Amino acid sequence: MKSIAILGFGVVGCGVAEVIAMNHERIAKRLGEELVVKKILDIREFPDSPFASLVTNKKEDVFDDPEISIVVETIGGARIAYEYTKMALSAGKTVVTSNKELVSTHGVELVKLARENNCNYLFEASVGGGIPIIRPLHRCLAANKVERIAGIVNGTTNYILTQMAENGSDFDSALKEAQAKGYAEQNPSADIDGIDAQRKIAILSTIALDGAYVDPTKLFTVGITAITTKDMEYAREMNASIKLLAVFENDDEGAFAYVAPHLVSKEHPLACANDVFNAIMVTGNAVGDAMFYGQGAGKMATASAVVGDVMDAAEHETRDAHVAEWFEAGDVLAPIEKHHISVLLRLPADVSEDTVSEAFPEISMQPCVYEAEGEKAFILGKEGDMTEAQLAVGLESFENIISVIRIF
């Protein structure tokens, strides 16, 4: 019998208990022994839960119990979760988590602590929810230099953008709908400002860089709050969707990581991810493009990934599981100013084409196939001849800019 504890009985923690209960027999057959949730640590009580008898508010019940060798951390945040994770790893207990904030903030320390204590820190569920991505990237694609990762990694913003595209809702009402459906928090900033996506691409970038730590707080990030119904009209006319992409690129000019809304052609496989679905495309120098698609959040999907990690840990205790060592490596990313991009630029109709040419000298420019009334719209940098720095300088020439959206 393998005993585990769950720290934090919120949505995902509860999902973990439910998945283990639902697939109890299958899991036991696979592991050759029963997998049992022995304790659930939470300051709250859950008298109506079928798991009520397991709930404790005494942390000793978990950390001092030598039978509990695997701990699931589904508390969230980087405070108590951080303390408890360190406590568990220090005691030689493997920790499995879906906590992207903690992994992206303290991953280097926690992976190291796990190694030192001959246990594991596993976080398949921290990116892409139920979608297998961490282990495939680290393990199956190990023979590749990862040239690019481009992902729709935040379900909330993808839901909002899908509603805006399909129903013509504006941002505010699409956000309200997402909140009403429980897809967005009452304080939605972490999602709509791209913070959640930032953390996830930082984790994937670190793995793609073989453990060289990428700090999420330093990534160039644009959220979706400025996207309008008119932008959606342009997207439709261009046979594209607007998606919040989290991107890692590693080319001759260095490694870049950033988050921003992009126009993505409807012909591109990433465009098939609508509503709360996630999709992550990885481009390797041997494999070419490989894409991973599925439910990037939600109780049971996220729990699926957590319990998968728990089973891996149970089968292979005391060996290194799926993550290589993470280490501080200074500034592993190149300055975003050097990154090459192309954009759709919307300007008031009274701006002359010459003014635009002067603002963006020697940069490729073409009129957009579509222009809304009272506007001029241009595609800039299509030939890979414009950097973020050049865009920023050029934009300074204009008093009124209707919008700028990057093109994937």
Q: Which residues contribute to the site for a copy of itself (CB under 8 A)?
A: 15, 19-20, 22-23, 26-27, 29-30, 124, 130-132, 135-136, 139-145, 210, 269, 271-273, 284-295, 298, 300-301, 303-308, 310-312, 315-316, 319-320, 324
Is the alpha carbon torsion for 175, 180, 181, 183 positive or negative?
A: positive
Nearer CB in complex with a copy of itself: 22/393: 22
| Nearest distance from C-beta of residue 286 to a copy of itself, angstroms | 4
Q: Residue 39's closest CA among 22, 59, 54, 26? A: 54
Token output for 369: 């196939």
Nearer CB in complex with a copy of itself: 20/363: 20
Classify the phi-psi angles of 45: left when phi > 0, otherwise alpha if psi is within -120 to 50, otherwise beta: beta
| Nearest distance from C-beta of residue 81 to a copy of itself, angstroms | 22
Nearer CB in complex with a copy of itself: 123/378: 123
Is residue 407 within 8 A of residue 342, CB to CB? The reply is yes
| Nearest distance from C-beta of residue 19 to a copy of itself, angstroms | 5
Q: In angstroms, what CA-CA distances link 115 with 13, 95, 142?
A: 25, 12, 20
Q: ∠29-11-62 over CA atoms, to 5°?
A: 65
Q: In angstroms, what CA-CA distances link 48 with 51, 55, 403?
A: 8, 11, 51
| Nearest distance from C-beta of residue 100 to a copy of itself, angstroms | 17
Residue 22 has φ and ψ, to the nearest 5°, of -60, -40
Q: In angstroms, what CA-CA distances link 265 with 229, 268, 337, 380?
A: 18, 5, 25, 16
Nearer CB in complex with a copy of itself: 20/341: 20
| Nearest distance from C-beta of residue 208 to a copy of itself, angstroms | 11
Nearer CB in complex with a copy of itself: 263/270: 270
| Nearest distance from C-beta of residue 144 to a copy of itself, angstroms | 6
Torsion, Cα of 98, 102, 103, 108 (10° steps): -150
Is residue 267 classed exposed, middle or buried when 0-12, 13-18 and 19+ CB atoms within 10 A define those classes? exposed
Contacts of 394 by beta carbon, 8 Å cutoff, 6+ apart:
359, 360, 363, 380
Is residue 124 within 8 A of residue 309, CB to CB? The reply is yes
Beta bridge partners of 245: 260
Nearer CB in complex with a copy of itself: 124/196: 124
Residues tagged active-site:
200
